[in-house]
Amino acid sequence: MLNESTQGVFTIAATPFLPDGALDFDSIDRLVDAYIEKGADGLTILGMMGEAGKLTAAESVSVVRRVTSRSAVPVIVGVSAPGFSAMTALSKEAMDAGSTGVMVAPPMGLQTDAQIVGYFHNTAEALGNIPFVLQDFPLATGVQISPSVVLKIVEDCPTCVVLKHEDWPGLEKITALRKASDTGSRRISILCGNGGMYLLEELLRGADGAMTGFGYPEMMRQVLDAFQAGDLERARDIFDAYMPMIRYEAQPGMGLAIRKHSLVRQGIIRHSTLRKPGAGLTAKTIAEIDALAARQTRRLSDLGL
Amino acid sequence: MLNESTQGVFTIAATPFLPDGALDFDSIDRLVDAYIEKGADGLTILGMMGEAGKLTAAESVSVVRRVTSRSAVPVIVGVSAPGFSAMTALSKEAMDAGSTGVMVAPPMGLQTDAQIVGYFHNTAEALGNIPFVLQDFPLATGVQISPSVVLKIVEDCPTCVVLKHEDWPGLEKITALRKASDTGSRRISILCGNGGMYLLEELLRGADGAMTGFGYPEMMRQVLDAFQAGDLERARDIFDAYMPMIRYEAQPGMGLAIRKHSLVRQGIIRHSTLRKPGAGLTAKTIAEIDALAARQTRRLSDLGL
Amino acid sequence: MLNESTQGVFTIAATPFLPDGALDFDSIDRLVDAYIEKGADGLTILGMMGEAGKLTAAESVSVVRRVTSRSAVPVIVGVSAPGFSAMTALSKEAMDAGSTGVMVAPPMGLQTDAQIVGYFHNTAEALGNIPFVLQDFPLATGVQISPSVVLKIVEDCPTCVVLKHEDWPGLEKITALRKASDTGSRRISILCGNGGMYLLEELLRGADGAMTGFGYPEMMRQVLDAFQAGDLERARDIFDAYMPMIRYEAQPGMGLAIRKHSLVRQGIIRHSTLRKPGAGLTAKTIAEIDALAARQTRRLSDLGL
Amino acid sequence: MLNESTQGVFTIAATPFLPDGALDFDSIDRLVDAYIEKGADGLTILGMMGEAGKLTAAESVSVVRRVTSRSAVPVIVGVSAPGFSAMTALSKEAMDAGSTGVMVAPPMGLQTDAQIVGYFHNTAEALGNIPFVLQDFPLATGVQISPSVVLKIVEDCPTCVVLKHEDWPGLEKITALRKASDTGSRRISILCGNGGMYLLEELLRGADGAMTGFGYPEMMRQVLDAFQAGDLERARDIFDAYMPMIRYEAQPGMGLAIRKHSLVRQGIIRHSTLRKPGAGLTAKTIAEIDALAARQTRRLSDLGL
């Protein structure tokens, strides 16, 4: 069960589609297998990157069931919704299907500290005893959550057990939260997003792992393993080898299309299709990705990877 | 069928709940009857005021079926959704249940003209031959739609047949759109929202009617009737009598709670319950509403209403 | 000197220009005289409505000097600026010229409670012992200030002595602040803006007066006098007579142009010129204003005004 | 004189302060010298990174005069201001002091295409015959400018001669603009910002150079030289060596403090002071920067740099 000690690599999963936009269940199976093979300790599905908002309620349930039945590792389900009724309904389906917990991002439009705290009070109440991940992603939601607000939610809501940290800048926030839990606040797990852009610094600041997507998801595993083995220089070497691609994926609104392209190139999913309004990649973009991938392969090879 | 000639009063319907938050179907029936009795030419359900985002997909369908089966006047269904799959699914249910068309607001976050036009291209394609209302409500969505963008959507999408106009300020926009349709652009219906705050000026600028909610929905009927009868001074007298309450309802985020309170006071629905995060009204607010209502009754009585 | 006991009507002053955009000092003189004659207890200049952002630093100083030397009532100067150096420089000029205090709105972009509190800590430090008005106008600034944040600023910054209240909705905020000062918080003055749209309810909630602009500034005086005389029904009658115009002025981005038009019509200033990007009024808009003004005159005449 | 053929490296200059916040003119001199020595073809001062908004009007003029009198390369002056009067006043001072042109970013709050085009029409009119750079930086301004809007401004305003490109994502925008100028639109210079994060891809897409800040400004020179020499692999090697630091500087709101720290470390300016509300760096952040700098030095050394 998801809890405050959760750590490691939780890979954010894409949702594969057929060229006509229908769910591609065969690719879902292969993707689950590949994520685990490449080192995932858990999977997070139906996040923003999973195009959750583009699925009907019925489709969301079918994805949850397929992934949970296939996966040998814990599955967290994104249940952010415009209202608590839809959130509760999907959460119940997720837990019934065997998920380990759910993830909730605040809706666009929240501004004051009190509004944000109030929203998560309502969330915790709506979810009952289901443990949840608080997704803190201001670049996408427009909602800025201060460290003191995170701590207030953690204090008030025992079922909030993980912070998906993707504030930007966010390193001082990790330090502030860790300092608070070192001096008496309840300590929850911090798993970092933002495509891994600051992964090493985040680990150095006290994060418990990664929860993000990347076209080559073994990156998170390799960096974390080297870091945990105490070989910081090797961790930096690996991290730097992936960095040009991490940076390229970081382009807002393009990351998912780039990742799907990379997953197709590696033979993991069949189609790079995004549902509308997601757009395809131009030839120039594809050429840029492929050039970065070729250099990445060379540099990793120099590192014995 | 909803089309470019649609006119009159389309009342935006609240969604009544029981004190525990469940749908109150008996109150739905009474509310439908009351709206029609008070002069509605049509109803618009599952808009923002209908707390659409707080319903599950299944609940939305049940509300659509209940209202359409009860209503003697055309019903338009709000189908705004985070993605086109959910929008399409609800639209199909709405039309199957006998609705006359659907309404779509752009999602928060759209900024450039091209993004907005693209969104409605996708909407029109997703909806197929279902006629739709374009809801233009920047105060709630944050999306600013220029007159030229409205005209582009109207030109490109034959199924866009009504503009729910609630830009603020918005009077010059009506004039610009009417000037365009007088000189060759396709003319669509303009029905005005914003709680009726500028209803008379909107009619004078060329609007075809109202599409809004108000705690005393006969206001739209009475103002429109006097206006169409050519008695502008009487239209102003009636409008002014309601204005203190219109203004009070205009407080963002409070309008629905105020309207539900007024509907309960008039014996139309049983409970003023809002689903979370909607909040109840304080005693001071209720006292203010009641004081305004008492004066409103007196002033209307002076007008023989 | 501006302090926590400040009360009454502080009229927000327009800045008159000549047709070529230069400052019109003769009209400034006449405007100052007229505001006082129509009941102002004080003036607030170089606010948003004063087109402060469109003046050079040197022009701002010249307006401050002209108004303070002409005015028989206290003058508050808006000193909001992108940085504290410019704010400090203008504040010093204002106080040297004989102003009673300054007014500061938070800059666009502030989001969390901590950012807002921090901004006003810096403001208070930059201003030294100059008393200031905290302008709380989210519709214009995008900055949402919770009651608890206002109270924190009031507690931390002894030189914050007045709240220019124009949150919307804002009535519960007044009640919350008054409840806090009744139970131990430092009590500061609350003067209300928003063009007077909720003036009477604000007074009933405990506000100390008005600080706003309106094309017929005697409205604030008349409503406040009737209210303070204990004649609430008469206060409502007067308030309602002005309400159609108040509502019309409330159109965002148009209020100033409408007010300048009204001031010209009354022979107070010579030109309705706005500096760019301010736009002029169309003929239809002018006709609407004039129709409202004619009815307003009739209704006020019925009230003996 | 700044024109459509401008190309190369325009370094965005910091504004050095003494520990008490006063301008540090000696450090300005040294900084100008260092930027040129490290390969700048021109300098851009009083941009966002130059803390322009935190200077008084008088201070801005003194910085302009100091830099232009010291610099052997062309100087562009950021003149973005809340109003056109202040913009015009500073622009005149800049040109009188010998600057080559000015730079203007759109103000926060502009939304529709028509608003943006209108703003730059007014800008061009206010500036007269002074050539200007259009700064397109949505992450900072919140203003999204479509390629078609850039092209409209370029078509309507002959004095708009350079685009400071820092949209994100922005690569397809460069391609769109170059395709347009290849097929008949007026071609203007495109110089890229965003701290150089996508510099190489931008050059490959047709950009004319860089206009950005970075703690090691020789990076832009070295990458551009290798690129222009046709040695793309070497350009990538150099670019990748700097990338961990580029990424670290990219943290919003922190870049300037990091750059000032790096400039102090290199002995170029004396103090890393920022004016409020700019904050200093924590010990952990400084340690992270220094670790990145050490690795950067090693990797550059491997490349013979």
0.85 surpassed by complex ipTM? yes
What pLDDT score does B120 carry? 98
Q: Which of B135, B130, B131 is nearest to B119 (CA)?
A: B135
- Residue D24: HSE in the Cβ half-sphere, 13 Å Cα cutoff: 23
Question: Chain D window 88-127: which residues touch B at a Cβ cutoff of 8 Å?
Answer: 111-115
Provide the residue count of chain D.
305
Kindly list the distances between the CA atom of residue D246 and the CA atoms of A36, D163, D198, D214, D215, in Å, as whole numbers in the listed order.
Answer: 32, 22, 10, 7, 9
Please check whether residue B134 is in contact with residue B150, taking contact to mean a CB–CB distance below 8 angstroms: yes
- Quote the CA–CA distance of B156 and B176 in Å, as a whole number: 18
CA angle B34, B39, B45 (to 5 degrees): 65
Q: Which of D131, D105, D129, D126 is nearest to D116 (CA)?
A: D105
What pLDDT score does D1 carry? 85
Q: Which pair of tokens denotes residue D238?
A: 């150099």
CB contact under 8 A, A113 and C111: no
Please check whether residue D17 is in contact with residue D278, taking contact to mean a CB–CB distance below 8 angstroms: no
Hey, what CATH topology would domain D8-231 get? TIM Barrel (3.20.20)
- Chain B residue nearest residue C289, CA to CA: B201
Per residue in D154-203, pLDDT tens?
999 999 999 999 999 999 999 999 999 999 999 999 999 999 999 999 99
Q: CB contact, 8 Å: B175 with chain C? A: yes
Residue C192 β-bridge partners: C165, C210
What pLDDT score does A49 carry? 87
Chains linked to B by 3 or more Cβ pairs within 8 Å: A, C, D
């992603």: which residue's tokens?
A137
Distance of alpha carbon B73 from its chain centroid, rounded? 15
Mean pLDDT across chain C: 97
Per residue in B8-60, pLDDT tens?
999 999 999 999 999 999 999 999 999 999 999 999 999 988 899 999 999 99
Residues of chain D with C-beta less than 8 angstroms from the C-beta of A247: 197-198, 243, 247
Mean pLDDT across chain D: 97
Per residue in C125-161, pLDDT tens?
999 999 999 999 999 999 999 999 999 999 999 999 9
**Phi, psi values for residue B114, rounded to 5°:** -65, -35
- Quote the CA–CA distance of C174 and A32 in Å, as a whole number: 55
| pLDDT higher than threshold 90 for residue D33 | yes
CA angle D284, D290, D294 (to 5 degrees): 145
- Quote the CA–CA distance of C151 and C170 in Å, as a whole number: 15
Q: CB contact, 8 Å: C204 with chain B? A: yes
- Chain B residue nearest residue D145, CA to CA: B112
Q: CB contact, 8 Å: D286 with chain A? A: no
CA angle B277, A168, A3 (to 5 degrees): 60
Q: How deeply is D129 buried, as exposed, middle or buried, from its count of CB atoms within 10 A (0-12, 13-18, 19+)? A: exposed
3-state SS class at B71 = coil
Q: pLDDT 10s digit of each residue in chain A, 305 long?
A: 899 999 999 999 999 999 999 999 999 999 999 999 999 999 999 998 889 999 999 999 999 999 999 999 999 999 999 999 999 999 999 999 999 999 999 999 999 999 999 999 999 999 999 999 999 999 999 999 999 999 999 999 999 999 999 999 999 999 999 999 999 999 999 999 999 999 999 999 999 999 999 999 999 999 999 999 999 999 999 999 999 999 999 999 999 999 999 999 999 999 999 999 988 999 999 999 999 999 999 999 999 99
Domain map (residue ranges) of chain B: 8-231
- Quote the CA–CA distance of B273 and B15 in Å, as a whole number: 10
CB contact under 8 A, A171 and D251: yes
Residue C10 β-bridge partners: C42, C211
Q: Which pair of tokens denotes residue B89?
A: 């699914």
D279: pLDDT confidence band, cut at 50, 70 and 90?
confident
Please check whether residue D170 is in contact with residue D198, taking contact to mean a CB–CB distance below 8 angstroms: yes
What pLDDT score does C92 carry? 98
Q: Which of D85, D63, D157, D274 is nearest to D77 (CA)?
A: D63
Rounded mean pLDDT, C245-268: 97
pTM of the model: 0.97
CB contact under 8 A, D114 and B148: yes
Q: CB contact, 8 Å: C285 with chain B? A: yes
Q: pLDDT 10s digit of each residue in chain B, 305 long?
A: 899 999 999 999 999 999 999 999 999 999 999 999 999 999 999 998 889 999 999 999 999 999 999 999 999 999 999 999 999 999 999 999 999 999 999 999 999 999 999 999 999 999 999 999 999 999 999 999 999 999 999 999 999 999 999 999 999 999 999 999 999 999 999 999 999 999 999 999 999 999 999 999 999 999 999 999 999 999 999 999 999 999 999 999 999 999 999 999 999 999 999 999 988 999 999 999 999 999 999 999 999 99
Q: CB contact, 8 Å: A253 with chain B? A: no
CB contact under 8 A, D82 and C82: yes
